Structure 1
Amino acid sequence: MRKFWILALCALGLFVNSTLFGQEQEAATPAQEVAQEGQTFSEVREEALQKFSQLTDIDLGGNSGARLFFFFLLLFGTFVARKIVVGIYVRWFHRAAEKTSWAFDDKLIPAMTGPIGAMVYVIGFFLSISILSLSPTMDVVILRIFQASTMTVLFWGLLRVVDVMAEVMVDVAKERDHSVYHFIPLIKKTARIFLIVVAVVLVVQNLGYSVGSLLAGMGIGGLALALAAQESLANFFGSVSIVADRPFKVGDWIQVGSKVDGDVEEIGLRSTKVRTWSKSLMTIPNKVLANEIIENWSRMPKRRVKQYIGVNYSTSPENMEGLVEDIKKLLREDEGVNQDFILVNFTDFGESALQILVYYFTSTTAWLPHMDIRQRVNLKIMKAVEARGSSIAFPTRTLHIEGGLPQLSGDE
């Protein structure tokens, strides 16, 4: 930018020099030079004013020297005005933001510095060019460019506002422990795309093109584009359904059908990414998730344990009754077992064992702590069975033969 102003000033200096002194020096005679030496200060001043007046009357493509001078002056003033406006904006609004406890204005002020500076540039350039004498066609073109530029800067500012609002909403949702903050990036992307589409339509409209006519004139190409975008629209509405229903959030362990089983890593406009237990990354279109049954294991308040303990048939009724009470007691005393519901009963005579149903919940839903609790409880059950003089049964079969073994006879 400094090089531009240096070149502009040099060109302006050369232009003034050649205009003021080029023709005069060629036309000057020795007699005139002698007369000029005797001129008084007032005469020199009058002559300078007259030459400056001639300079401003010079016509360059319909633009006088005065027009060009004020054009460059306003152009230079635009850069100065931008620094002044941005400086006042930052200082004044920063002081006002310090008096509030809301984080939104603290983040919005620096975010809007760029759009405000760009708007000063747009207005300054338009005013500078307005001084020049241009053709009617160029006037229309410049006016449309000014309107499109103004619209672009305004939507740029709106995009900045959306970004700041999303950032503040994420912080507030995390502070209040709302699960909705996982969907805020998706909402932000949707809002940005909507604003960009509206901005493009309005800018094209301000440039003098009819958007309706363009869409209507697409004909078969528009139909092909609509068919190609059908899947994208289906995934987009699937994303809207996920945001509205919130069946899961980032970090949840979900299971969809027999193929999808893992933790949610990202929820996008088109698809959702799930990290499976084998550490592979699975990408599922949102339209599929919107139409499938989703099992969210992370939403369990507590994790269930249901199992059968089989003891051998040599266990006496008294020992069986005491064993059931021992298992109930050890479950109530374990700190990892949820005490809301515990069920231990001798339920069945199995094929090779007496079956005891053990039904309880662990307080944690995390997989590894849950497995540690189950292991601890199972070891305590084994010790309780051994203490009652019984043992864990394994599949066995006893064969009873009536009448004894048959006598085998043969010829000697």
Structure 2
Amino acid sequence: MPDYLQQYFTLDNIIQIGISLAILLVFLILRKLFTRYFFNLLFNLTNRPKTEIFKQVVLAFDKPARWFFVALGLFLAIRYSPFLDEQIPVISKIYRSLIVALLCWGLCNLTATSSFIFHKVNQRFELDMDDILAPFLSKLLRFVIIALSVSVIAQEFNYDVNGFVAGLGLGGLAFALAAKDTISNFFGGIIIITEKPFTIGDWVETSTVTGSVEDITFRSTRFRTAQGALVTVPNSTLSMEAITNWTRMTKRQITFSIHVSYATPIENLERSIHSLRTMLLEHEGVDNETIMVNFDTFADSYYNLFFNFYTKTTVWAENLNIREDINYKIIEILGAEGVQFAYPGQMVVVKQKHESDPFQVNLNKEEKERA
């Protein structure tokens, strides 16, 4: 072995390298044992209704805890390494930064949208936390956790966070001017969340877009249109527009007209209208509060029957089925009463050449008498 290598690979150094590798191997084995036995034991102990919050904590810190064993094993192995004595302070800072990052990872998992913490807070304080507010709070909490973690790591490496904050204060005005659209979108999102004009899955119509709400972020809201397209609208735009939420209808309106021929006897027409009203009142899918069936207009070539009522369901497919059933019953009732539908048409009167016009004959007689 060359002389310059012999000074490194002495017997003591080889023993220390062996100890370092053994330490790393032990912690890798502990990681396996933790995953297979200890974690499963904790999960079984906390898999009860009364300990649901502890179960969520265990699940959130599962992967960070596994990587903690790797980080700790590497740190201890490096400390026993004979070649990195001078780098121990830097390695210690890196190790502490990794611990902060792992804690940040676990807390971010704990504050996920699907986390039990939001359900627990909602149940405990009786908050109306819907599918929009929960993701928004989740992203806000994650942002705070990550910002604090970055701040702690920066201070670990002797970075002056206070000076950075002071620098932000000096550049705050320029930043605000440059990011005014982003800020307005952020506050627009807050308005949408607090006023709750819609939630995830609602069918919404505005002057900008019509579609189903898929997601809301700090900057924008995403909609899925009837054609399947994904439309992203800035929150500041939505907060300034009139929003129609069709999903929150309590009932769905049906209105139409039927044209009845003038050849229909008036008695048959009256009986038909009465039967149609009775049919709608007795229909299980129709709301009984507002039912209108009226003969409302004399048109050019037909009587006009006006219908206006509401279905109890707001689901479009169910509404169509009810409407179809009512249409069939209308045909049956009008057919039973001998009522004929009127069709669009015009009446054309054709005169023969030998036929005289009564008005013209009278006019000729008056002229002769005057003469």
The TM tier, using the shorter chain, reads 0.7 to 0.9
What do the CA deviations read for 1:75-113 (whole angstroms, capped 9, x no partner)? 643552464376274254234224556555445435423
Change in Cα spacing, 1:132 to 1:381, as seen in structure 2 (3 Å) is closer
Deviation at 1:325, TM superposition (A): 0.6
Q: Which amino acid aligns with 1:278?
A: Q
Distance in 1 (CA, whole Å) between partners of 2:312 and 2:100 is: 57
Of 246, 249, 261, 2:196 maps to: 246
| Mapped pair 1:406 → 2:356 | no
Aligned counterpart, 1:34: none
With over 3 angstroms needed to count, the CA separation of the structure-2 counterparts of 1:109 and 1:349, relative to structure 1, is same
**CA 1:396–1:92: 2 relative to 1, 3 Å:** closer
Q: Which amino acid aligns with 2:114?
A: A
User: What amino acid maps onto 2:10 in structure 1?
Assistant: F
Unaligned runs of 5+ in 2: 123-127, 350-356, 365-371
Give, in whole Å, the separation in 2 of the partners of 1:227 and 1:404: 87
Name stretches of at least 5 consecutive residues in structure 1 with no aligned partner: 1-9, 17-54, 56-64
SS class of match (1:251): coil
* Distance across 2 between alignment mates of 1:12 and 1:81: 29
In the superposition, relative to structure 1, how do residues 12 and 338 fare at CA in structure 2: closer, same or farther (>3 Å)?
farther
Give the drift of 1:370. Answer: 1.7
Q: How does 1:209-228 map to 2 (within 5 A)?
A: 209-217=159-167, 224-228=174-178
Q: Tell me, in whole angstroms, the C-alpha distance in 2 between the residues paired with 1:226 and 1:390.
A: 72
Report the number of matched residues. Answer: 343
Quick one: which of 140, 150, 155 aligns to 2:99?
150
Contact 1:347–1:356 (CA under 8 A) maintained in structure 2: yes
**Match in the other structure for 1:166:** 114
Letter of the structure 2 residue corresponding to residue 193 of structure 1: F
Which of 60, 63, 68 matches 1:119? Answer: 68
Larger Rg: 1
Letter in 2 for 1:73: I
CA deviation after TM superposition for structure 1 residue 355, in Å? 3.5
Change (3 A) 1:135 1:325: closer
RMSD: 4.3
Aligned ranges 1:30-41 → 2 under 5 Å: none
3-state DSSP of counterpart to 2:204: strand
Deviation at 1:303, TM superposition (A): 0.9
Q: Cα distance, 1:356 vs. partner?
A: 3.1
Which residue type is aligned with residue 166 of structure 1? S
Take 1:405 and 1:102, find their aligned partners in 2: how far apart are those partners?
Answer: 101
Q: TM-score, normalised by structure 1?
A: 0.66
State the match for 1:73 in structure 2.
Answer: 19
Q: Secondary structure at the residue paired with 1:235?
A: helix
Q: Does the Cα contact within 8 Å between 1:75 and 1:124 map onto a contact in 2?
A: no
Query: C-alpha offsets along residues 180-223 of structure 1, whole Å, 9 cap, x if unaligned?
Result: 24654444333323322222222223221122322444688765
Structure number with higher relative contact order (C-alpha < 8 Å, ≥ 6 residues apart): 2
* CA 311–71 in structure 1, closer or farther in 2 if over 3 Å, else same: same
| Residue of structure 2 in register with 1:344 after alignment | 293
Judge conservation of contact 1:343–1:358 (CA < 8 Å) in 2. Answer: yes
CA distance in 1, matches of 2:287, 2:253: 10
Alpha carbons 2:297, 2:305 under 8 Å: kept: yes
Distance in 1 (CA, whole Å) between partners of 2:295 and 2:82 is 102
Instruction: Give, in angstroms, the shift of residue 158 of structure 1.
Output: 0.9
For residue 155 of structure 1, give the secondary structure of its aligned residue in structure 2.
helix
CA drift of 1:121 comes to: 4.6
Distance 1:369 1:202 in 2: 57
Deviation at 1:327, TM superposition (A): 0.6
Quick one: which of 86, 90, 94 aligns to 2:39? 90
TM-score (norm 2): 0.73
Alignment correspondent of 1:281 = 230
Distance 1:132 1:368 in 2: 72
Q: Say whether residues 1:198 and 2:144 are aligned partners.
A: no
1:349–1:382 distance in 2 versus 1, CA, 3 Å: same
The alignment status of 1:390 with 2:336, answered yes or no, reads: no
In 1: Cα distance, 2:129 partner to 2:302 partner: 48
